[in-house]
């Protein structure tokens, strides 16, 4: 039994455990070039949450991983077949109900482990923090946790060398031969300010990329994925452990 993984636990085994932190993995359902499955973000959420929670649990953190939310914000991909969108307002409603249950049961800390770039939980957690002032609410984007250039040759942010390497390490049977993958070439905005960090506008996916990927996956390998995965799990595990074990003030 994995007492840190809710979907595999049994009530009789965990009913007396005082959990300090709930981790909510959140993915998306969307096309990932021609070689990765629609559920790539979901699988990443599952694998990363379970493995990092395991390391934290083994160090003494009482953490419980909730089932992964499989749909994310895909408002810029409405014309791509079966890219399922969940609006931010829907995410707010889902989070409100989850927090209501956790708060009532005495679990006062929540960490969202986000696997999808279209999800932005910061404004949602700010608003929910007013409704649940006794709770500690946080989110992390695992894909920003490490310097990807130390592991991978080609930059990208969707079905790229990084994601492909991770999937080759975690679930190679779901990855089609890389010869079938597109090269992930992406157009940039005509106005350069939107290619920089100080101005933003949503990308219209089918106008930006012809194969739904952004970033060349051709040099991905399972070995690269394994190295990145192991380092990522250590970093996520440390974060989960520290949040679960924190007592008193959150500020020095």
Please report, for residues 73, 126, 225, 233, 240, the alpha-carbon distance to residue 138 in angstroms, rounded to integers and kept in the order given: 18, 10, 26, 18, 11
Residue 40: Cβ within 10 Å count: 28
Query: Considering the domain 6-245 in this protein, what is its CATH number?
Result: 3.40.50.10310
pLDDT at 49: 98
pLDDT at 114: 98
Question: Is the separation of the CB atoms in 91 and 73 below 8 Å?
Answer: yes
- Strand pairing class (214-215; 21-26): unpaired
Helix ranges (DSSP H) in the chain: 11-14, 40-58, 88-104, 122-131, 161-170, 205-208, 222-245
> What are the domain boundaries of the chain?
6-245
Q: What is the pTM of this model?
A: 0.97
- Three-state DSSP state, 5: strand
User: Is the C-alpha dihedral spanning 47, 164, 29, 97 positive or negative?
Assistant: positive
Q: 153-178 pLDDT, tens per residue?
A: 999 999 999 999 999 999 999 999 99
Q: 73-88 pLDDT, tens per residue?
A: 999 999 999 999 999 9
pLDDT at 197: 87
Q: 100-129 pLDDT, tens per residue?
A: 999 999 999 999 999 999 999 999 999 999
Residue 82: Cβ within 10 Å count: 9
pLDDT band at 1 (very low <50, low <70, confident <90, very high): confident
């Amino acid at each position: 039994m994995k007492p840190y993984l809710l979907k595999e636990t049994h009530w009789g085994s965990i009913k007396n455990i005082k959990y300090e932190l709930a981790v909510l993995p959140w993915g998306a359902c969307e096309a990932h070039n021609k070689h990765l499955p629609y559920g790539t973000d979901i699988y990443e959420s599952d694998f990363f949450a379970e493995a990092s929670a395991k390391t934290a649990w083994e160090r003494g953190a009482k953490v419980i991983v909730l089932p992964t939310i499989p749909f994310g914000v895909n408002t810029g991909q409405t014309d791509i077949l079966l890219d399922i969108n969940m609006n931010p307002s829907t995410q707010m409603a889902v989070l409100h109900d989850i927090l209501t249950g956790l708060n009532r049961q005495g679990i006062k800390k929540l960490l969202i482990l986000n696997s999808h770039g279209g999800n932005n939980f910061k404004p949602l957690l700010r608003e929910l923090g007013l409704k649940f002032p006794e709770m500690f609410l946080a989110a992390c984007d695992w894909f920003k946790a490490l310097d990807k250039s130390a592991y991978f040759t080609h930059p990208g942010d969707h079905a790229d060398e990084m994601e492909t390497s991770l999937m080759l390490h975690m679930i190679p049977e779901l990855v089609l031969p890389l010869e079938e993958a597109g090269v992930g070439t992406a157009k940039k905005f005509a106005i350069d300010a939107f290619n920089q960090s100080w101005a933003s506008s949503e990308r219209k996916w089918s106008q930006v990329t012809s194969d739904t990927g952004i970033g060349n996956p051709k040099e991905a390998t399972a070995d690269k994925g394994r190295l990145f995965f192991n380092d990522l799990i250590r970093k996520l595990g440390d974060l989960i452990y520290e949040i679960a074990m924190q007592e008193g003030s959150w500020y020095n």
